[in-house]
Amino acid sequence: MHEDIAQVLFTEDEIAKRVDEIGAAITGDYAEVAGNRGLVMISVLRGAAIFMADLARAVRLPVEMDYMAISSYGDGSKSSGVVRVLKDISTDIAGRHVIIAEDILDTGLTLKYLLRYLASRNPASLEVATFLRKRTSDQAEIACKYIGFECPDEFIVGYGLDYAERYRNLPYVGVLKADVYR
């Protein structure tokens, strides 16, 4: 897999350090309100599962984890804009403090849809933690409380991010060589 990477953006160590920082920030921000029930973290399969697994362990409060599957991307490298729920959460989030863990914010269409979808179930609070945020000119306005790193507008893989289901298990994040997907 390594030979398909044009450039490493964030190393395994840098990622671990940043995830710990975000976990500490969440711990501080929710310590007062979390109570016995703690937080509900929701990740969007499949990419964000790796980020959420690490992030949840960096939070020093009770964290429930649930998963959604939606389709907005095919095997290609461009967002289709079509969002469909393939698997819903089974947690009742009414009155709960919810954090959506996302792998990457690109067009923002996925998160825009998800925020509306989950807000309609009346959580006590709803925030977004995104591992990466792409620097693009046409991104939907999404309020992300927690952002791991800003990244260039390239096709990124690793640490959960895939191209055609490959590279998710790369421990670092890198830019995929263009000739791999062209």
In angstroms, the CA 135 to CA 161 distance is 17
Q: Which of 54, 103, 106, 162 is catalytic?
A: 106
Q: Which structure tokens are listed for 35?
A: 């109570």
Decide which of ligand IMP, Mg ion, none touches 72; Cβ closer than 5 to 8 Å per partner kind.
ligand IMP
- Contact predicate 62/30, CB 8 Å: no
In angstroms, the CA 19 to CA 54 distance is 7
In angstroms, the CA 118 to CA 106 distance is 20
Binding residue for ligand IMP, selected from 19, 93, 108, 127, defined by CB under 6 A: 108
Binding residue for ligand IMP, selected from 161, 170, 173, 174, defined by CB under 6 A: 161
Binding of residue 174 to ligand IMP (CB under 6 A): no
Binding residue for Mg ion, selected from 23, 47, 123, 148, defined by CB under 5 A: 47
Binding of residue 72 to ligand IMP (CB under 6 A): yes
Catalytic residue flag (residue 106): yes
Binding of residue 128 to ligand IMP (CB under 6 A): no
Decide which of ligand IMP, Mg ion, none touches 108; Cβ closer than 5 to 8 Å per partner kind.
ligand IMP
- Contact predicate 30/58, CB 8 Å: no
- Contact predicate 26/57, CB 8 Å: no
Residues that bind Mg ion (CB under 5 A): 47
